[in-house]
């Protein structure tokens, strides 16, 4: 499901790239709330909230967007359970 309202996938991508441009080139701060891992992969930092508390936080750093997306997916996979359950 498209998390950017009623936009089609091409328009969603254009909007995400525009947010990225505004953030990197114009140094605009953008706060986006989403359940969409693909959309989140355009961010520099992702904060995960579970049960009203910060569950985890990851920074993109020097990762590619694909690598960052994979890290996001790793955390999302654990969100349904408890981090201690996997050890």
Per the domain annotation, does 23 fall within a domain? no
Q: What are the angstrom distances between the C-alpha of 71 and each of 22, 47, 52, 61?
A: 24, 12, 22, 12
Per the domain annotation, does 87 fall within a domain? yes
Using the Cα atoms of residue 54, residue 72, residue 83 and residue 87 in order, give the sign of their dihedral.
negative
Per the domain annotation, does 61 fall within a domain? yes
Euclidean distance between CA atoms 86 and 36, whole angstroms? 24
pLDDT digits (tens, 9 = 90+) for 20-62: 999 999 999 999 999 899 999 999 999 999 989 999 999 999 9
When divided into structural domains, the chain yields a total of: 1
Euclidean distance between CA atoms 77 and 72, whole angstroms? 9
Question: What is the structure's pLDDT at 82?
Answer: 59
Average pLDDT over residues 61-72: 96
Question: What is the structure's pLDDT at 8?
Answer: 86
43-46 LR contacts (CB < 8 Å, sep 24+) = 46/72, 46/75
Residue 46 is part of which domain span? 32-87
Question: What is the structure's pLDDT at 79?
Answer: 85
């Amino acid at each position: 499901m498209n998390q950017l309202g009623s936009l089609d996938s091409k328009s969603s991508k254009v909007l995400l790239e525009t947010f990225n441009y505004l953030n990197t080139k114009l140094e605009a701060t953008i706060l986006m709330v989403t359940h969409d891992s693909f959309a989140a992969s355009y961010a520099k930092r992702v904060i995960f909230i579970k049960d009203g508390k910060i569950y985890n936080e990851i920074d993109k750093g020097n990762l590619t967007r694909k690598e960052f997306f994979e890290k996001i997916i790793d955390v999302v996979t654990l969100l349904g359970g408890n981090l201690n359950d996997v050890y």
